[in-house]
Structure 1
Amino acid sequence: MGWIAVVFAGQGAQHTGMGKELYDASPAARSVFKMAERIRPGTLRQCFDGTKRELSETVNTQPCVFAVDLACAAALREAGVKANGAAGFSLGEIAGLAFTGILSEEDAFRLVCRRAELMEQCSRNRPGSMAAVLGLENEKAEDVCKKAGVWPVNYNCPGQLVAAGGTDAISVLPGFSAEAGGKAVRLAVSGAFHSPLMSDASEGLAKELAQYTLRTSEIPLYSNVTARPYGTGEAELIARQAKSPVLWQKTIENMISDGFDLFIEAGPGTTLCGLIHRISTKVAAFGVENPDSLEEAVRMISEGKHA
């Protein structure tokens, strides 16, 4: 058996009722939610009863998904699952900071709340959008982005690259993608995340991080910016992440090369599991969001059936 990694879901995975079953069943998960509610009143209601529209607002999405991500990971630990490393997709990386001990849970939650505010403000000041370019190798997809005047920002898996840019530029991306033999699908997001249009958010995060104490991680946390584990300069990497591409495919490839063969997605949905399965068919990936999936994960690990 190889190593176990916990990977944290990002923005877009949110849904009404997320985390409620674990809140009811797991004291460890409940503790995380109560922490979030204490710092940001209303988080519980939004997770459990918020409308799709309410949860799609960045200022709500990020704190709520963070709470569910970290609650799922806490339930895993409570059940005796010991991870050897972690990674998170975009905002999921902030949950990873708490999970690996780089930040306290409280500071990581305060950080994600501020991150959400800064990125939403950027979206208003410098409007933009995002689209997934599908069916093309990265080099061709990058060429398509260049022609459209947008930035490649999320390297998700083979044949899937997400671009970000101004609204007008994103609108011409489907035409250029089709000419190259692929297609582009507009994403339901409120801004051009992980692009230079988020530079002000990155600067704001750098200032915010100066207030916190960052510790050495207990287990490796792989950075979206470098696709390698955090070492030194954590604050700079965390701030840069908001305006830098998410190197998800390379991150997973590096983790596999480093010995990880089981990936447990903590948080709402199984989007990351799907990406991991497309990156490699030689590893296992499954999600934990509720008591049933938690029980199944523990059973598979104890029986070694993921190997």
Structure 2
Amino acid sequence: MGIELEGPILGMFPGQGSQRPGMATALRADHHEAAAVFATADAVLEQPISQLCSTGSEEELQRTDITQPAVVATSLAIWDVLRARGFEPAAVAGHSLGEFAALAAAGVLTYEQALLLVARRGELMAQVGESVPGAMLAIIGLSAERVEELCEQAPGAEVANYNEPEQTVISGTATAIAEVETAALAAGAEKCVRLKVGAPFHCSLMDAIAADFGAELDRQPFADPRMTVISSVTAAPLRSGAEARILLRRQLSGSVQWVRTVRAALNGGSTTLVEIGPGRALTGFAKRIAPEAQTLGTGNPKNLAAVLAALENARAIAS
């Protein structure tokens, strides 16, 4: 028996870390809408993003300057495939990098603007990674409040992502992160996982690139959203394109409020959460944030086909 898309939907766009070798192979082969998005990405960025998303190695895709446009291009490709079959979420949200895809889906940015911005964002973040010995660490099995306390005791460590009730990511200098890791395990954390990232994202070390990236944002026109966009910076709906520009700058060094973002969507009436992009990280987070909601992914051909079948079935019933 197939799935059914029940009630208002939140479309969730993943961020860095969701990339996978071969993530675009079936997409490009099976869906002309996806192939068109990748062709746009290749032309705008003047590099073979489509090939990297199809045949690139894990090592290549982990480069921050490649990861960011690759994930956004793949997410927007899946979005266009869904949209062509009548997919209409009540709201969208993006986890960190995914916020650019969410803004493009809502018409705040064009696809070209989103791709150019994330490519530059990735370049700038990579520069920080090269100049600062930083790290990121996922702490599993402690409350966010306990992790905050541990960071307060280790100057140089800050909360980067509130991913789920008992998974919090910290970011900062390598020394401070190591100190918190030791303290977290002593405090009863189930485990700590070092993230394979090119820079210490979402902490004050990113202030070094805030002016440069802010200038990039200021060069781009931002439209007002055509659908509800819940910001992962504030966990509240965006009111305008101007606000989106401000929050994308704040996002560099600010924490990702993902738990609050998902709960805001639920409070707004969403009952189905659909991850739109590669990987399944947000699907996993959502199941632990909101076990009462229906949670679906589209990051592999089987899961995407199931969602497309549900869309076709809903359209057939409506007609």
Partner of 1:15: 20
Q: Which runs of 4+ in 1 moved over 6 A?
A: none
Partner of 1:160: 167
Q: From 72, 94, 105, give the equivalent of 1:99.
A: 105
Q: CA deviation at 1:200?
A: 2.3
The answer to whether the Cα contact below 8 Å between 1:8 and 1:267 also exists between their aligned partners in 2 is: yes
Residue 264, structure 1, aligned to residue 264, structure 2: no
Q: From 215, 221, 224, give the equivalent of 1:213.
A: 221
Partner of 2:207: 199
Amino acid at match of 2:216: E
Partner of 1:292: 302
The answer to whether the Cα contact below 8 Å between 1:153 and 1:163 also exists between their aligned partners in 2 is: yes
Residue 171, structure 1, aligned to residue 181, structure 2: no
- Alignment TM-score, normalising by the size of structure 1: 0.95
Give distance in 2, aligned partners of 1:181 and 1:289: 33
Give the gaps of 5 or more residues in structure 2. Answer: 1-5, 315-319
Question: Cα RMSD over matched residues?
Answer: 1.4
Q: CA deviation at 1:281?
A: 1.1
- Alignment TM-score, normalising by the size of structure 2: 0.92
Partner of 2:195: 187
Give distance in 2, aligned partners of 1:303 and 1:157: 32
Q: From 94, 107, 129, give the equivalent of 1:88.
A: 94
Q: CA deviation at 1:148?
A: 2.7
Amino acid at match of 1:72: I
Partner of 1:108: 114
Amino acid at match of 1:85: A
Amino acid at match of 1:243: S
Partner of 1:248: 258
**1:162-192, Cα deviation, whole Å (9 max, x unpaired):** 0001011112222100221114221111211
Residue 276, structure 1, aligned to residue 281, structure 2: no
Between 119-128 and 27-36, report the one with greater CA deviation. Answer: 119-128
Residue 2, structure 1, aligned to residue 42, structure 2: no
Amino acid at match of 1:94: F
SS in 1 for 2:271: strand
Q: CA deviation at 1:303?
A: 5.9
Amino acid at match of 2:202: H
Aligned residues: 304
SS in 2 for 1:260: coil
Partner of 1:225: 233
Between 221-230 and 172-181, report the one with greater CA deviation. Answer: 172-181
Between 99-108 and 284-293, report the one with greater CA deviation. Answer: 284-293
Give distance in 2, aligned partners of 1:123 and 1:290: 30
SS in 2 for 1:217: coil
Give distance in 1, aligned partners of 2:177 and 2:77: 35
Q: CA deviation at 1:81?
A: 1.3
Give the gaps of 5 or more residues in structure 1. Answer: none
**1:50-78, Cα deviation, whole Å (9 max, x unpaired):** 11111101011001111101101110001
Amino acid at match of 2:171: A
